[in-house]
A and B are shown apart, each in its own frame.
Chain A
Amino acid sequence: MNQIPVSQAFLSGLTLYAAAGLVGLIGARQRNLVRIVACAFSALGAVLEGVASFAVIRDAHETIISIPSGTFFLPYTFRLDPLSCYFNLALAVVGLAISIYSFGYLKSFDSKKPVGVFCFFYSLLLISLTAVFTAANAVLFLIAWELMALAAYFLVSFDHEKDETRRAGILFFIMSHAGTGALLVAFLLLGTWAGSFDFSAFHLASQTLTTMQRGSLFLLFFLGFGVKAGMIPVHVWLPAAHPAAPSNVSALMSAILIKTGIYGILRIAFDFLGIPPLWWGLVVLAAGTVSAVLGVLYALIEPDLKRMLAYSTIENAGIILMTLGGAMVFRSYDRPVLAAIALAACLFHIFNHAVFKSLLFLSAGAVVHATETRNMERMGGLIRRMPLTALCFLVGAISISGLPPLNGFVSEWLSYQALLGGFGSTLSLTRIVFPIAGSLLALTGALAAACFVRAFGIGFLALPRSSQATQAHETHPSMLAGMGALAALCIALGLGATLWLPILDPLVVQLVNTKVSGSLVLAGSLVLSSGSPKGGTVAPAALAGLLVLLTLLPGLLLAFWRRRRRTVSGPTWDCGLPGLTEDNEYTATAFSKPLRMIFAAFYQPRREIQTEFEVSAYYPTSIRFESGVEPAFETHLYTPLKDRILTRAGRLRTIQAGSIHAYLTYIFITLVVLLLFGVRS
């Protein structure tokens, strides 16, 4: 195979990202030129990054790039190992599609909006994400991590005229910083114990740490990375920030920014801290299960299309954490093959989620732009008005629901197999954990399918529910191209899963030192097996063929039938009341009502009906109906916490009198006391 100059490609990719950002800053006036050039540069940069990353994974060859810097404790060292490059590859693929999409999407911005500034922060986000994935030094990592949070903050608050958006931005900022606080403490501790801030030193130091030290480090890291990963209960920023951001940003955040947390957990659990004790894996598994189930339950009742997708991101992060936790448990039980399978499921789902979630957010962006609302109760009928967007959304929805033959199915199937495999292969009480997690995963999958049936059915089918939806048009071709590429990738990753899995080999070997493709891919790379004789096998391509056959068969029969008989087309049956309008349609709230009743204990739904009448209650003049669910985490966790912090801060406020004289007096007294103290000792 030809040799690809990895470091050159990597660095020129970064340079192109930076150039895109600079173009945005310099040419703020020429809106169109900036948009075209910046999007082209970031797309090209993404191509180069993708090529470099793919080359590293394919050759399983580690590349270290060092850029000399003036400061001794901060070498700009990037390490391109398969794990870093896998995430960077996902970033490059998604980044390429989003850059193509942005080309058209940015055109729709209001003429007052600073497109150049947007391009700058977008490029900054791409650069910092790349740096987070490839940094080989804790200081550089933290700098990139903070840059990423800042760039994301500015992008989230891009529509800062809206009160809701500013609030979302600040919430993201606070949560992100709370997480970074934990990370900072963890990295400083680890750096002190290891005697260096280099990642390779961390790896070596893990043998010398005590159990207490490793445990506390793990908890700090897990909390810090969990905030970014969208893990429940530190997920609250996600459903606020994702809908508030412009859709291309929400796509990038949901697909990749969330994964920085997962990357961090993978890095510490499998690289820095050595063989994990059993409880680490169980903690991760439990957090993942809770996130998956609760995330999808919230998604199910959410009428806001983008917020629903944000909750679904929490759910998918949960699924990823479940398999990650499973892999950690297997590793502590010394079951390398099972750990490898769980890891393969985890890594595959990471990539898949990046692809289909960005696809869904991008198509949601197209829909929101066309209908000027995020509320799906005001969409409807879009399949006729924007058929290609609807098709893209449908592909994403099928994929995220884990239906065959698309990519979501393959990775969720692998996740089930890995979790169920745990039951037969581990000892003692722990084994009961796996069937429970597996069945909750099954529940999650089913609820996710219901959730996306609802989203597609209410949003795209039937009659338009608002005048904007009636006037919706198909979107810009470049937006369609971006979405189309991702949709094609969803299909390709589903059908070609058996060809894709060997690519995960270098990663899995790096993490648990066992190959996975040999035991998972059978029969000339057509059949996917669960890796144990008792488990099942599946052939995605054959399934797809079967599905195509099954849909073709009735079609053929119908065509045959039609030739014989005359067909008459008429309106939908209207129960004898002529003239069906959008008021007769099934609503999103109604669709999720049965599930809201089943899970009433969790939702704690509240409902308020006020009827006003003049003569009799049977002839109301107006009815007001309001329903909602209890935001459990906000009311029971965050509001008390916030109140407590505010009371404490209020007490401190008395010394902050607002008077310059008081402040000067504080400084003066401190100065004199310190001077005298210094003299005494």
Chain B
Amino acid sequence: MSFVHDPQFGDRMITLMAALVLVLQIAMVGQRWLITNIRMFALQSFLLAAIAGTIAFFNHSNHIYIAAALTFVVKTLVLPILLERIVARVGIQQEIEPLINVPLSVLISGGLTLVGYIVAESFYHPEETSASAALGHNTLAIAIALFLIGFFMMLNRRKALTQVLGLLSMENGLFLAAISLTYGMPLVVEIGIFFDVLVAVMVLGILVYRIGETFDSMDVSKLRRLRG
């Protein structure tokens, strides 16, 4: 089992998992069912937790284990359950109606991935040939792409709840960028961010419920009516 302790192996694992995260993100853009979407988000978060755990293992930095555990608990378990309960309570339609059709959306997501790579390119210094630099390069590109696609998901969808999902996957992108570039921020910052996300989802959950009550629909385009 010597390969387990080989850093090269760890880097490859991380890159592989990051790529899977990106694939899941694009799949979420193409996916039409809300519940499946939430579960894909849970899976994506699980992969993130695994990335964090791998980084912690190969760099022997124990506090990242805590971040990984937090990711697992908050994003893989708590948030999806919370969201599914909201879905059940509001009793919304299961199908997502994107503003832009699925093939075009996936194409745009591909374009945004490209943008991520272009942007990450400028941070890449070829003279630094160490493994961590290469890892940083790849995962940063993926992280930026995640962020942009998450944003695109937000503006592509009508329902407030699916926009929450977009926001959460944007946050996943940020988490990936932070953890792969710095090998773990100070724990305080991590905990702060988790707490933030949790609170944000709660607020958004209430807001979603309210919008549903007021407009008999969760379609945020109806908020236009609030304009004076």
Contacts and interface: CB of A to CB of B under 8 A. Distances in A.
Interface of A: 656-661, 664-665, 667-668, 671-672, 675-676, 678-679
Nearest to B111: A672
A559 to B, nearest CB: 73
22 contacts: A656-B227, A658-B223, A658-B224, A658-B225, A658-B226, A658-B227, A659-B220, A659-B224, A660-B163, A660-B223, A661-B99, A664-B154, A664-B155, A668-B152, A668-B155, A671-B148, A671-B151, A672-B115, A676-B119, A678-B119, A678-B122, A679-B122
Given A676-B118, A679-B121, A679-B122, A659 B155 contact: no
A170 to B, nearest CB: 16
Contacts of B99: 661
Interface in B139-176: 144, 148, 151-152, 154-155, 163
Contacts of A672: 112, 115, 148
Most chain A C-beta atoms within 10 Å of own C-beta, residue among B121, B154, B155, B224: B155
A270 B66 CA distance: 65
Closest 4 CB pairs of A and B: A658-B227, A664-B155, A658-B224, A679-B122
B152 A675 contact: no
A575 to B, nearest CB: 60
Nearest to A657: B224
Contacts of B122: 678-679
Contact of B151 (A656, A658, A659, A664): A664
B115 A661 contact: no
B212 to A, nearest CB: 15
A675 B220 contact: no
B220 A661 contact: yes
Contacts of B151: 664, 667-668, 671
B62 interface: no
Given A671-B148, A676-B118, 10 more contacts: A656-B227, A658-B224, A658-B226, A660-B223, A661-B99, A661-B220, A664-B155, A667-B151, A675-B115, A679-B122
- Most-contacted residue by chain B among A659, A664, A665, A678 (CB, 10 A): A664
B153 to A, nearest CB: 10
A657 B115 CA distance: 28
Given A657-B224, A660-B220, A661-B99, A676 B154 contact: no
Contact of A679 (B118, B152, B221, B227): B118
A665 B224 contact: no
Contacts of A657: 224
A304 B65 CA distance: 74
Given A657-B224, A660-B220, A679 B119 contact: yes
A664 B121 CA distance: 26
Nearest to B157: A661
A671 B147 CA distance: 11
Interface string B108-124: 00001001001101100
Interface string B171-189: 0000000000000000000
Contacts of A676: 115, 118-119
B118 A661 contact: no
Contacts of A661: 99, 155, 220-221
A221 to B, nearest CB: 37
B162 to A, nearest CB: 12
B155 A665 contact: yes
A676 to B, nearest CB: 7
B223 to A, nearest CB: 6
A659 B223 contact: yes
Contacts of A659: 220-221, 223-224
Nearest to A663: B155
Contacts of B220: 659-661
A656 B226 CA distance: 12
A374 B220 CA distance: 50
Contacts of A660: 163, 220-221, 223
B177 to A, nearest CB: 13
A615 to B, nearest CB: 52
A664 B119 CA distance: 21
A484 B172 CA distance: 71
Contacts of B144: 675
A661 B162 CA distance: 13
Contacts of A671: 148, 151
Contacts of A679: 118-119, 121-122
Contacts of A668: 148, 151-152, 155
Contacts of B121: 679
Interface in B177-224: 220-221, 223-224
Nearest to B144: A675
A59 to B, nearest CB: 54
B225 to A, nearest CB: 8
Contacts of B223: 658-660
Chain B CB count within 10 A is highest, among A661, A665, A667, A668, for: A661
A660 B224 CA distance: 8
A676 B116 CA distance: 9
Nearest to B221: A659
Nearest to B166: A664
A655 to B, nearest CB: 13
Contacts of B163: 660
A667 B223 CA distance: 18
A679 B123 CA distance: 9
A645 to B, nearest CB: 17
B214 to A, nearest CB: 15
A657 B226 CA distance: 11
Interface in B75-124: 99, 112, 115, 118-119, 121-122
A515 to B, nearest CB: 61
A627 to B, nearest CB: 37
B130 to A, nearest CB: 23
Interface core residue of A656, A665, A667 (most chain B CB under 10 Å): A665
Interface string B38-51: 00000000000000
A672 B144 CA distance: 10
A193 B151 CA distance: 44
Contact of A675 (B119, B221, B225): B119
Contacts of B152: 668
Contacts of A678: 119, 122
Contacts of A658: 223-227
Contacts of B148: 668, 671-672
Contacts of A665: 155
Contacts of B119: 675-676, 678-679
A678 B123 CA distance: 11
Contacts of B118: 676, 679
A651 B23 CA distance: 43
A168 to B, nearest CB: 22
Nearest to A675: B119
A68 to B, nearest CB: 28
A658 B151 CA distance: 19
A671 B173 CA distance: 15
Nearest to B120: A679
A664 B148 CA distance: 12
A676 B121 CA distance: 11
A668 B119 CA distance: 15
Contacts of B154: 664
A678 B225 CA distance: 37
A659 B99 CA distance: 13
B173 to A, nearest CB: 12
Contacts of A656: 227
Nearest to A658: B227
Nearest to A653: B227
A641 B44 CA distance: 56
Contacts of B221: 659-661
Nearest to B158: A661
A73 B152 CA distance: 42
A366 to B, nearest CB: 42
